[in-house]
Amino acid sequence: MQPKRLLLPLSVLLFPVLASAQLRHSVSGTVRDQRSGETLIGASIFLLGQPNSGVLSNAYGFYSVSAIAGNYKLLVSFTGYTSDTLEISLSRNFELPVNLVPEESQLQEVVVTADKNNNVSRPLTGVQKLSTSEMKYLPVLFGEKDILKTIQLLPGVQSGGDGNSGFYVRGGSIDQNLILLDEAAVYNPSHLLGFFSTFNSDAIKDVTLYKGAIPAEYGGRLSSVLDVKMNDGNDKEYHASGGIGLISSRLNVEGPIEKDNGSFIVSARRTYADLFLKLSKDSNTNRSSLYFYDINAKANYKLGKKDRIFLSGYFGNDHLGLGNTFGIQYGNTTATLRWNHIFNSRLFSNSSLIYSKYNYDISITSGNNDIGINSYIQDYHFKEDMTFYAGSAGKVNFGLDLIDHNTSPGVISASQNSSFNALSLQEKHALENAAYISHDVSLSDRININYGLRANLFTTLGPGNFYTYDAAGNTIDTASYRSGRAVKNYFNLEPRFSMSYKLTGSSSVKLAYVRTTQNLHLLSNSTSANPTDIWIPSSNNVKPETADQVSAGYYRNFRENKYEFSAEVYYRDMQNQIDYKDGAELRANENVESQLIFGTGRAYGLELFVKKKIGKFNGWISYTLSRTERQFSGVNRGSWFPANQDRTHNLSVVGIYKINKKWTLSADFVYYSGNAVTWPSGKYEVNGQVAFLYQDRNAYRMPSYNRLDFSATLQGKKTRRFDSNWNFSIYNLYGRENPYSITFQQDPGDPSKTQAIQYALFRWVPSITYNFKF
Amino acid sequence: MKPFAYTCLLLAFLLFACKKTVILPLNAVPPQIVIQGEVTDRPGPYSVNINQTINFYADNIFPPVPGAVVRLSDNLGNTDSLTETSPGVYTTHTLQGARGNTYTLSVSVNNKQYNATSVMPEPVMLDSVGFESITAFGQRRISAITYFQDPAGTQNYYQFKEYINGELFTKDAFVFDDRLSDGKYISNTLRMDSSYLNPGDQIKVSMYCIDKNVYNYLFQLQQSSGGGAFNTTASPADPESNISGGAYGYFSAHTEQSKNVVVY
Inter-chain CB proximity B221 and A695 less than 8 Å: no
Inter-chain CB proximity B235 and A192 less than 8 Å: no
Measuring CA to CA, which residue among A624, A616, A668 is closest to residue A645? A624
Pairing of strands B243-244, B112-119: antiparallel
Task: For residue A28, give the amino acid letter.
Answer: S
CB A430 within 8 A of CB A538: yes
Burial of residue A333 (CB within 10 Å: 0-12, 13-18, 19+) is middle
Inter-chain CB proximity A761 and B16 less than 8 Å: yes
Out of B21, B130, B233, closest to residue A755 by CB:
B21
**A253-to-A64, A772, A774 alpha-carbon distances in Å:** 32, 12, 10
Residues of B with Cβ-Cβ distance to A737 under 8 angstroms:
18, 20
ipTM of this complex prediction, to 2 decimal places: 0.91
Which H, E and C letters describe B194-222, residue by residue? CCCECCCCEEEEEEEEECHHHHHHHHHHH
Residues of B with Cβ-Cβ distance to A688 under 8 angstroms:
161, 168, 170
CB atoms inside a 10 Å sphere around CB A7: 11
pLDDT of A114: 38
Q: What is the C-alpha separation between A168 and A173, in angstroms, rounded?
A: 6
Out of A588, A681, A752, closest to residue B60 by CB:
A752
CB B229 within 8 A of CB A741: yes
Residues of B with Cβ-Cβ distance to A320 under 8 angstroms:
7, 11
Q: What is the C-alpha separation between B167 and B198, in angstroms, rounded?
A: 15
Task: For residue A154, give the amino acid letter.
Answer: L
Inter-chain CB proximity B138 and A281 less than 8 Å: yes
CB A425 within 8 A of CB A411: yes
pLDDT of A631: 95
Out of B26, B137, B181, closest to residue A421 by CB:
B181
Pairing of strands A534-537, A520-523: antiparallel
Out of B6, B11, B27, closest to residue A326 by CB:
B6
Chain A residue with Cα closest to B135 = A284
Q: What is the C-alpha separation between A374 and A423, in angstroms, rounded?
A: 11
Residues of B with Cβ-Cβ distance to A767 under 8 angstroms:
none
- Give me the phi and psi of A192, to 5 degrees please: 40, 60
Out of A524, A678, A680, closest to residue B56 by CB:
A680
Residues of A with Cβ-Cβ distance to B182 under 8 angstroms:
421
DSSP letter string, A279-299:
T-SSHHHHT-EEEEEEEEEEE
pLDDT of A529: 65
Exposure string for A453-480, b = 16+ CB within 10 A, e = fewer = bbebebbbbbebebbebeeeeeeeeeee
| Three-class secondary structure of residue A149 per DSSP | helix
pLDDT of A297: 94
Out of B19, B179, B223, closest to residue A759 by CB:
B19
A692 Cα distance to chain centroid: 38
Q: What is the C-alpha separation between A765 and A709, in angstroms, rounded?
A: 9
In the predicted model, residues of chain B with pLDDT beneath 70 are 1-17, 136-138, 171, 192-195, 226-234
* Most B-contacting residue of A419, A595, A764 (CB-CB within 10 A), to test interface: A419
* Most B-contacting residue of A288, A292, A683 (CB-CB within 10 A), to test interface: A683
| Three-class secondary structure of residue A621 per DSSP | strand
In the predicted model, residues of chain A with pLDDT beneath 70 are 1-22, 104-118, 131-134, 163, 276-286, 367, 525-529
Q: What is the C-alpha separation between A474 and A591, in angstroms, rounded?
A: 9
Asked if B264 is an interface residue toward chain A (Cβ–Cβ < 8 A), one would say: no
pLDDT of B195: 63
Within 8 A by CB and 6+ apart from B158, the residues are B124, B148, B175, B176, B177, B188, B207, B208, B209, B210
**A465-to-A108, A426, A488 alpha-carbon distances in Å:** 59, 8, 13
Q: What is the C-alpha separation between A242 and A774, in angstroms, rounded?
A: 9
Inter-chain CB proximity A527 and B171 less than 8 Å: no
- Inter-chain CB pairs, A–B, below 8 Å: 270
Is pTM beyond 0.95? Reply is no
Inter-chain CB proximity A684 and B248 less than 8 Å: yes
Asked if B202 is an interface residue toward chain A (Cβ–Cβ < 8 A), one would say: no
> How many angstroms away from the CA of A420 is the closest CA of chain B?
4
Q: What is the C-alpha separation between A352 and A413, in angstroms, rounded?
A: 36
Inter-chain CB proximity A760 and B19 less than 8 Å: yes
